Structure 1
Amino acid sequence: MSSVSNNTPEPAPDEPSRATRMTIRRAPNLLAFLITGAILGAVGGFLFGLLGPESQYYTRGAIAGFFLVIGLVIGAGVGSVVSLIIDRVSLKRTRNVTAHIDDVHESGDRPGS
């Protein structure tokens, strides 16, 4: 009978893992709030321009376009301020954790370097 050889590598000797203190918190995405505020402001400004009072000097389209741009800028500003306020509130909900970092590469080399 032939013996079956075990081809699995031997486990590396246990090296102490490095412990690192980390802070975890959920932060809002500023760009998402900025874009959402700009879109909502543009839609609101456009509707205000279309449904607002008529002018004898400007067309309805020109008024709607003007208020669209104004609403876009104001909406982006409000969205960024809301994002900053939520970011400040999220600072109160931070958690400090200890992460154990283990080197999973046998030779210690990083792939691609």
Structure 2
Amino acid sequence: MESPRSAATPDDRSPAAGSVEVTVSSSPKFWPFAGAGAVVGVLAAMFTALAGDPGGEFTQGSVFGFFAVVFGLAGALLGCIVFLVVDAILRRRTRRAHAVPLDDGGVTR
């Protein structure tokens, strides 16, 4: 009788013939982090502009515009820093695996 674990299980550490050693890792996308940081910065600018006392020299719209640029850039910078931290954490979790090419039976697409 054959055991439930056959010789071709994924736990087998010996590489199959024709297999290629690959590095498997995950990496976050850069732009969602930078964009989310910029959006948080603009939201902080909105709250700052609305919480301030309107002066005679500047309108709330112009104050919001100024703060939106400054806080948006600072938020994008912080988003980039968070991206670098998350990328460094995920880079430590890389592992090596063996990839075996599949035979598609001569079918071309």
TM range (shorter): 0.7 to 0.9
Aligned mates of 2:59, 2:74 — CA distance in 1: 23
Gaps of 5+ in 2: 1-15
Is this contact kept in 2: 1:17–1:101, CA < 8 A? no
CA contact (8 A) 1:18 1:102 kept: no
Tell me how many residue pairs correspond in the alignment. 94
Work out whether 1:99 is the aligned partner of 2:105: no
Alignment gaps of 5+ in structure 1: 1-15
Which is greater in Rg? 1
| Structure 1 residues 29-72: Cα deviation after superposition (integer angstroms, max 9, x where no partner) | 11111111111111111211221243331111110111112111
TM-score (norm 1): 0.73
Question: SS of 1:26's equivalent?
Answer: coil
**1-structure distance, mates of 2:105, 2:17:** 13
CA distance in 2, matches of 1:20, 1:110: 22
Q: TM-score normalised to the size of structure 2?
A: 0.76
Whole-angstrom CA distance in 2 between matches of 1:105 and 1:77: 50
Contact 1:50 1:63 in 2 (8 A): no
